[in-house]
Each structure stands twice: as structure tokens, then as C-alpha cells.
Structure 1
Amino acid sequence: MSYIILPDVVHYACTCGILKPISKLYFCRHCLELRCGFCVCHEADSHYCDKCAENLPSSEARLKKNRCGNCFDCPSCHQQLSTRAATVGPKNPDDPKAAPRKVFYLLCLLCRWSSRDVGIPDQAAVSGGWPERENIYAHRLQEIQDMYKAIVLSDKQQKLDKDKKKQRRYMSFTDRTGITASMLRKRIGWPDVPNPLLKAKPTELNNKAIAKEEVEEFPEDLLTSPVNLSLATTMEQRLVQPEWQPTTIDKLFPIHKHLSVKRSQRCRSCEHNVSKPEYNPNSIKFKIQLFAYYHIPEVRIITVEPLRAGKVSELLLKFSNPTQHQTSITLFPYKVDDVIACEDNRTEVISQSSEEKGSGSQPSSITHTSLTRQPSITIKPRPIKTRVVADVVVPNASFVLPPRDDAAEYDDSGDAHNIQNDPKIVVWRKSNKAVIKLQVTPNSDLNIGDEVTTAFTIQHIYINTITTVENKEPQKCEHKVKVFLTLGNLVGGS
């Protein structure tokens, strides 16, 4: 018997067909489906600096190029720079009443790089006011931006002119009479003021490159002088500062820290939020937190006997109920088709395999008329590429898991909630957890060292507490999810 502690050995099948651990899945309470990171829309709610916790609106963050104005990163190792104080002598040492003064500089606590290494003067205040480097190519970059803006505006103007020729209906008085704003200004006597970007052609805004017959000679010191790699910057250090791209370490200057974002995830099918954080940067709470491990039973591998081809091995799995309601779990063999039905029998959706589905088919989802809207985006299912090479014998009976009780974790009385357990199925139970014994048989055509993967389907009772005008009471539904287990490698022997 070996205890498996490998991470990510238990995977759940998402609606789109991707296998993910339960910690990386969401559960939409409106369409009652598992959603992975590809099945949700990611939206940026707020921008903030994770060091000074300054919250910036999206417009201001865009103007600042998504960088904080007060915090800096080390240009050498890209860690956060700390502000350090130092005591220096007075400005007038001849004055006996002059006292020493404090100055502040930037220091990296990892690689010991400091702002003094590149000649940045010390500041008299903690807040900084550090001098900004001026980009010598700023004017050239602005010319290029103006050139491309003129090209875009010219293309739009040409497209509008073509549309006006084809357009038959007049949308305004000037279009009906054929008088434009430019003609009106001429009739009144005012000078015509065209768009400044259309005054000149786009090619005139950019200085043309002129070929030269005489070029600079190749410097011989590049071939004769020894190369000191400790003074040269790495490719990563150069690409972090694309405006300057320093080649030597004496040109490394502090980098403004990138802003972080708080994002929310929205279900692509029903457009409801599955995760939404608080706007306050100091808060780690969530307004909406529909993670899968809060609603779907968690499966963990306890022990598994050595796996041999064609031989039966014993497998112990622990099931945990994360909800506040009692649930009943039934195990089914892994099949291609799954049926998910609601208790009131008003909706029933069959999940077909990706091989049987066409290119325009929709994934399986419980579309309840009172809970969800029409799906706005069709999620294309992906085939499950994981090969199941072992058969698992699932019990015919179901077992019950009590609701989660945080206080029961510290109770050693072993209260089983008066639940009659089948000793052939349940070998251990405590609080909302139960250990189930299963029989696994790897395929006989496997070789020694091959990875053994098995799968089965879990059906559990889910209590949907979302109330609507039509149904004010919680609804009870039977939800199915496919679970894939990586049991380890095949061993030899009999």
C-alpha cells in the first residue's frame, strides 16, 4: 500500500471537455454547469498597485500606461525596490548650529542594486519625486503615431464617401440639400478649417529615409577590447525597458511598477458572474465566489494497491460534501452519454460525446426558464483526450454525505449522524466525509511503467438556493460530473 501525495491526480471534466482539478473550476448556479477558464469571460474591474494599494480608474491607468507613479521595480532582478534612509552632513559644515539631515534612496534587498549606482540624486522626502528619464525618441514616436492616425482617418473618410454615394436616404438637412459644413463656412465668409490630420498626406508626416553613400567606419575596439560580461545587460533586462534598451549596467534605471487588476469572471452561456471581487485593493473578499469546490463533492485518493495488468487492485477514495445541505452520491461507470435532469422534470438535457456532436452543436447545460437567459455564446466542445486504461467496479447503491459543519472538525466523538453504512462500500466516515472502497482492474495489454488512468461519473443531489418570482423555494436537482483519476504507473510481478 502506498500513499499518493502527487498533486493534480484527480481531474474533473468541464462542460467543454477540458480536464481540470476542482480548484481551477467554477460552478454556475444559474445553468448548473462546470466552467473552466476558457468557458468564462474575463473582465477587468479595477486597477491598483499591489505595493502602495492605490486604486486607479481605467482611464487614468491607461494614461499612465498601466504603471504606478510612486513604486519602482529593480531594473536588474525585477523585484520591488525599497526606500532606505541615510544620514548625511549639513549643507553648510562651517555652521555650528547646522544638524545632520536625512536623505532617501532606492535599494533592492535581493541583488543590492541602488539608485546611487547610476547617479540618481538622493531625495529629501520619503514620497520621492525621483527624476524621470527623458526619452530622446519621444518626438519620433509621436510622429509615427500621428502618421498612423492620419492613415486610419483617411481610410474612414474614403469609406464614408463611398457609403454616401450608395446611400439613397438623406439623414440630415445638409445631405438633402448637398451643402456640406465646408461650403456653409465659405458662404458665410468664414475660413475653412479642415481636419489637421488631413492637411497633408500620411507620407508627408513621416521623414523619408535617405540613403547615404558614406557610412561610419566599423570601430576596431569591438574586436580588440576584451569583453566583460559582468558589465553587459541581459536580454530580459533590455526588453523590460523597450524605450531605452540599455546595453550596459550603468544605464539601468528604476522601472515604474506595473499595475495589477482585479478581474471578474462571467459565464459565457448565461452571462452571470461566477466570480467578482471587492473593489477595495486591501480587501481579499469576493462579492460572488462560485468556485467548484464550494458546490461539487471533492474526491481524493487515499490509498491504492500496486497496479498490475489484468489484476484487481483495491482503491480507497475520500468524498467530501462542501455544501450546507445533505447530499446523496451515486457512482456510475464512465460512459459517453450523460443525462442531467431536474427534480421537477421541466428540463432534461443530454450531453453527447464530441464525436457525435456536429460543429454547430451546443454543449450540455441545464437551461431553466426561470433561472437563465438565452445562451449568447456557443461554447465548442473539445474531445477528452485522456485515455481510460482501467476499469473500475462502482457499487450499485448510493451513500449519503451530511452537510458541512466547521465545528465538527474539532469533535472527536465520531458522530455519524445515525447513518446506516454498508460495510462493503463505506469503510470510514466522519462529519461530512466518507471513504469508499472500489475495485480497479488495469487493462491486460498495458506494459510495465505505463500510467494508469480510470474514470467514473458522480451523480449528487444539489440544492439550488437561488429563488425567483416563480419558484421561491430551493430546487433540488441531480447533477452529474465526470471524474478522472491518475492512479500511478503499472508495476510488474504477479
Structure 2
Amino acid sequence: MSYIMGPEVVKYVCTCGLLKPISHLYFCRYCSQLRCSFCVCHEVDSNFCGKCSENIPSSEARVKKNRCGNCYVCPSCQQELSTRIASKGSVNPEDAKSTPKKMYYLSCQFCRWSSRDVGIPDQSTVTGGWPERENVHANRLQELVDMYKAIVLAQKQQKEKDKKKTERKISKLHDLTHPMLKSKPKEPEPATAKTDVEQLPDEMFTEPINLMEVTTIDQRLLQPEAQPATVDKLFPVHKRLSIKRSLRCRACEHNVSKPEYNPSSVKFKIQLFAYYHIPEIRIVTVEPLRAGRQCELIIKFTNPTQHQTTVTFLELKMDDSEVTDTEVTEVSESLEQTLSIQEKQPMSLTSLPLSPSQPSSLLSVSSRQPSITIKPRKINQEVNCDVEIPSSSFILPPRDDAAEYDDSGDMHNIQDDPKLVKWRKSNKAFIKLNVTPVVDLTLNSEVVCGFIMQHIYTNTIASKVENKEPQKYAHKVKVFLHLGQLVGSE
């Protein structure tokens, strides 16, 4: 009997059809659907330096080319550089009262590179004022940038002129030419090709190359304006800025993740990760897999919510993920009708409303316009193992942090089916399933099974807004389990 731990072997199907571990998924409480990184809009909240934790406005970050002005990375190994202290002898050695002067230089604690290796003088202050390497093509690049800015401005003014011209034709007014459109943007001198190419030095062919003195591709691309060929021309590089981003659901445009503004804080204002709302599944044990032979599979279910839930197994049907264009049109029309009465139904494209127990109203819709309904892609996963779907359900109690340290073995007076539930404690339950790999599988083939997990989800959004009781409804999630390799046949 093998032991398979970790969430990577258990993958959930997102609303869009992609397979992701539960740790890579979000759960939108407003439309009650799973969302992956492709189903959400990524928005930059703030720019900051990961070393000095300085918040930098977006306009200033654009001017600084998204780099910190005080922190540097090593041009050799791209690790962060630290400031080191060195003592310099006193100006007057004969004066006993004179003290050595402190000087500062940059050093890499990983590869031992320092600013002294390339001849950068030591600085008298910690903040530096380190010399910057001048770009020989700076003037040429600035001319090109100015030209393209002028072109964009001219195009914008031309659009305004065409718009005014159309309005004046309607009102039969005389058209006037904008005075700023008469002058065209100044174009820089065109680049000219050189016919004379510098010859390679004779040492290139006569002397052996020392690879320790030649820069690598990564080191050259780190400084594209200079692209140094030898290591003695490597200069410290300003550290790239990091960002804090918020994620917004594409369907209802509500945030599913929003961090704190403070760069030194790791907390979130909004943190709707899926493992806070969806039962987590982990593989505990599985018997040796043989083609055509029934094997025992033990999986663990964990309820992360503060509400009791009931889990039911349903048979997996791969065709359920395909939605026709007619169904998408009907869903869009239904959504428009519900928006007209300022209410929103939690709707799923993969499975339309499940039962009358599904909530009829979760939250009053804001003035935002709904996004376009997107047809989900086909699930790209082959299933080669049959699962015997249990006829009974089981209950998962709510999460209790104190119960982790309670050894009393409280079973919450739950009457379980002994053929289904092997063991339980607190909000966890070990479930037994019988799986059978298909007969025509070859040796060492990857065995994958799947099922639909239906659990009762308690949505508290409507209760907070409308002062009603929390609404419960059945939420379905498709789950695929990678059981391991086939070891033999029957």
C-alpha cells in the first residue's frame, strides 16, 4: 500500500475548464464560482522596493523605469548588494586625536563581487551617490521617444478634429483647422549603415580565452544599454520594483484578493482563496494499482468553513464542461433580465441552477456593467480509472481550531456509514472509495480517476446586506486524482 501526500496530485476543475490545485484557486462569494489566475483581472495597487520597503507612486516608478534609486543588485549573480564599511586612514597621521574616516562600498555576500572590483570609488555616506554609467545612445533614444510622443499627440488631436468636423457638418458650421496640427512632429536623423567594420584584434585568434573574464548572456542582458563583454565593466544595477496586486473576478467584478497597502505587511484586506471555502481533498493511501482489479483508496476531506456541510459523490461526466452557444446566449439573456430588477442569480456555465435550494438573490448588483460570458474550454484530462460512486453522503462538522488539541475523540453524534467513513476527527473525515483501472492499461501508466464533489455551501454575503439568514445551496466541483503508476494486471 503506497502513501501519496500533497495537494498537487489532487486537482480541481476551474469554471473556465483548467485543472489547478486548490492552493492555486480563488472562490468568488458573489457569483459562487471557482476562479483561477486566468479568470480574474490583475490590477496593480502599489509599487515598492522589496529591500528598503519604500512605497513609490506609479508616476515616479515610470520615470525611474520601475527601479529603486537606493538599492542595487549584483551584476554578476543578480543577488542583492549590501553596504560594507571600510576605515580610511586619518588625514594627518601625526595627529593622535584624528580618527579614521569611515568609507562605504557595495559587496555581494553570495559571489563576493564588490564595487572595488570595477574601480568604483568608496563613498563617504551610506546612501551612496554611486556613480551611474552614462549611456552613449541616450540622446538618440530621447529623440525617438520625443518623436513618438509627438505622433501620439498629433493622432489624438486629429481624432478630436474629425469628431468636431462631423459635428459641424451636422450643424452646418464652417470647419476650422486646429493650429497645432499644421506643424508635423520633428523626425530625428535617420540611422545610416556603416560600410567600414572594425577588425577583430589579433589577440582574439592567438591567445586563449579566459571564460572567467567574459560575461554571460544573463549578465549582458541585465544591462542592455551597455552590454559589457568583460567582467571588469560590470556596474551595479538598480533593483527592480515589486508590486502589490489585487485580483478581481471577471464575471461580477468583485475583488477576490486585495493586499494591505503597507509593503512590510503580509496581510490581506480581502482573501477569498478556495481552500477557505471549498473542502480540501488529500490522498492518504492507495492499494497497488492493477489493470482491471478493484483497489481501495482512502482520501481525507477537510471542511475549512465555520458551517457544517454535507458532501455527496456524483459520477463524473466529461461532456458537462462543454456548453453550447445557445446555452451561453440563454444565460446572458437571463442575466440581463435579472440585472433589470437589481438582483443577481449565482449562475454556473458548467452546471446551470442545481435545485430550488439555490439562493435567488445574493447581493444587490452595483452600477458596474456585467462582463461578457465566456464559453469554458474543454477539460484536457484523460480518465483511465473507474470510481464506484457511494450511494450515501457524509457530514463534515465546522472547523474548530481548539479541536486540534482535543484528544477526547468527539464524533459530534454523527451516524456514519461504516463502509464509507473509516475515521473522523473534528472537521476531518477519512473516506474509502473503490477504484478500478481500465483493463487495457499498459505497465507504468499514470492512473487518473475523477468524480464530482457536491457540498452544501453556506453563503453569508446576502445575510450581511439584507439581514437575512445565511443561504445554503449545493455547489458542485469536479475533482481529478492522480493515483500513481500501474504496477501490473489482474
TM-score by length of structure 2 reads 0.88
Distance 1:133 1:370, change over 3 A: same
How far 1:167 moved relative to its partner?
4.4
Q: Is the 8 A contact 1:459 1:478 kept in 2?
A: yes
The match for 1:275 among 230, 248, 257 is 257
* Residue in 2 that maps onto 1:32: 32
**Distance of 2:74 and 2:364 partners within structure 1:** 49
Distance 1:164 1:325, change over 3 A: closer
* Residue in 1 that maps onto 2:18: 18
Are 2:403 and 1:408 equivalent residues in the alignment?
yes
Deviates more, 1:14-23 or 1:408-417: 408-417
Secondary structure at the counterpart of residue 321 of structure 2: coil
Are 2:480 and 1:484 equivalent residues in the alignment?
yes
* Residue in 2 that maps onto 1:249: 231
* Residue in 2 that maps onto 1:392: 387
Q: Is the 8 A contact 2:258 2:271 kept in 1?
A: yes
How far 1:39 moved relative to its partner?
0.4
How far 1:29 moved relative to its partner?
0.3
Identify unmatched segments of 5+ residues in structure 2. Answer: 332-348, 354-358
**Distance of 1:320 and 1:233 partners within structure 2:** 52
How far 1:148 moved relative to its partner?
2.2
Alignment of structure 1 residues 159-238 onto 2, 5 Å = 159=159, 165-169=165-169, 176=173, 178=175, 182=179, 194=180, 199=183, 202=186, 205-210=187-192, 214-238=196-220
The match for 1:462 among 451, 457, 464 is 457
Distance 1:170 1:132, change over 3 A: farther
Secondary structure at the counterpart of residue 440 of structure 1: strand
Secondary structure at the counterpart of residue 455 of structure 1: strand
Render the CA deviation track for 1:373-408: whole Å, top value 9, x for unaligned.
463132331111111111111211111111101111
Are 2:354 and 1:354 equivalent residues in the alignment?
no
Q: Is the 8 A contact 2:115 2:235 kept in 1?
A: yes
The match for 1:325 among 299, 307, 314 is 307
Are 2:366 and 1:371 equivalent residues in the alignment?
no
* Residue in 2 that maps onto 1:341: none
Secondary structure at the counterpart of residue 8 of structure 1: helix
* Residue in 1 that maps onto 2:274: 292
Are 2:123 and 1:123 equivalent residues in the alignment?
yes
Deviates more, 1:78-87 or 1:146-155: 146-155
Q: Is the 8 A contact 1:31 1:368 kept in 2?
A: no
**Distance of 1:51 and 1:464 partners within structure 2:** 40
* Residue in 2 that maps onto 1:312: 294
**Distance of 1:6 and 1:290 partners within structure 2:** 21
**Distance of 2:303 and 2:192 partners within structure 1:** 74
Q: Is the 8 A contact 1:48 1:56 kept in 2?
A: yes
**Distance of 1:217 and 1:381 partners within structure 2:** 59
Secondary structure at the counterpart of residue 474 of structure 2: strand
Secondary structure at the counterpart of residue 233 of structure 1: coil
* Residue in 2 that maps onto 1:186: none
Partner letter of residue 439 of structure 1? N
Render the CA deviation track for 1:136-184: whole Å, top value 9, x for unaligned.
211111011122233334444555555555544578xxx94555664xx
**Distance of 2:108 and 2:85 partners within structure 1:** 13
Distance 1:380 1:493, change over 3 A: closer
How far 1:475 moved relative to its partner?
0.8
Q: Is the 8 A contact 1:359 1:380 kept in 2?
A: no
Secondary structure at the counterpart of residue 8 of structure 2: coil
**Distance of 1:442 and 1:423 partners within structure 2:** 24
How far 1:427 moved relative to its partner?
0.7
How far 1:356 moved relative to its partner?
4.5
Are 2:102 and 1:102 equivalent residues in the alignment?
yes
Identify unmatched segments of 5+ residues in structure 1. Answer: 183-193, 338-351
**Distance of 2:416 and 2:446 partners within structure 1:** 33
Are 2:152 and 1:152 equivalent residues in the alignment?
yes
Partner letter of residue 58 of structure 1? S
Distance 1:154 1:355, change over 3 A: same
